[in-house]
Amino acid sequence: MRRFTTALAGAALAGLALTTVAPLATATTAGPAPAAVVAQGGGLSVDHTVVHPGEQVRIHIDHGPEALSWISSGSFVRDSEHPMGADEGVAHVVSDVDGSADAIATIGDVAPGQYLVHARVGGGSVPGVTITVQ
């Protein structure tokens, strides 16, 4: 069962990555990103898009009446098990009131590059925001 869950999580993450390619390409041609970036149509935002290992990222998500399942990224510290078995760290939700949640995640000791911060709300995935680890 674990293999099926892992495969399902991988397929979901791969599909999410493919759905965010076009918006990211257009965002980079418009100039530098602002300090806080909101995913198009997703209600997910981060307070910093350029981070370093050991720094914390504050995340906000407006998820409406649907339940927030998780917020994760390959750049986050892996200090707890991912609910879907993905090889990613999960943000710690500090507040979730009236369809609006705030979370904090610490950037792990990962290779420099771009990483997707994404979430699962209700039965679907929320479009993510890309952060750059330097």
More confidently predicted of 26 and 108: 108
Contact 94, 102 (CB under 8 A): yes
Q: Where are the domains of the chain?
A: 2-133
CATH number for the domain running over 2-133: 2.60.40.10
Residue 45's pLDDT is what? 94
Contact 134, 112 (CB under 8 A): yes
φ and ψ at residue 95, rounded to 5 degrees: -155, 135
Contact 38, 128 (CB under 8 A): no
Residues sharing a CB contact under 8 Å with residue 7, sequence separation 6 or more, in sequence order: none
DSSP letter, residue 85: -
State the first-to-last Cα distance of the chain, in angstroms, to the nearest integer.
Answer: 37
Whether the predicted pLDDT of 94 surpasses 60: yes
Mean pLDDT of the residues in the chain: 76
24-71 residue pLDDT tens: 333 333 344 434 444 433 589 999 999 999 999 999 999 999 999 999
Whether the predicted pLDDT of 113 surpasses 50: yes
Whether the predicted pLDDT of 109 surpasses 90: yes
Prediction pTM value: 0.67
The first and second tokens of residue 131, run together, are: 């952060």
Of the listed ranges 18-22, 40-44, 57-61, 100-104, the one predicted with least confidence: 18-22
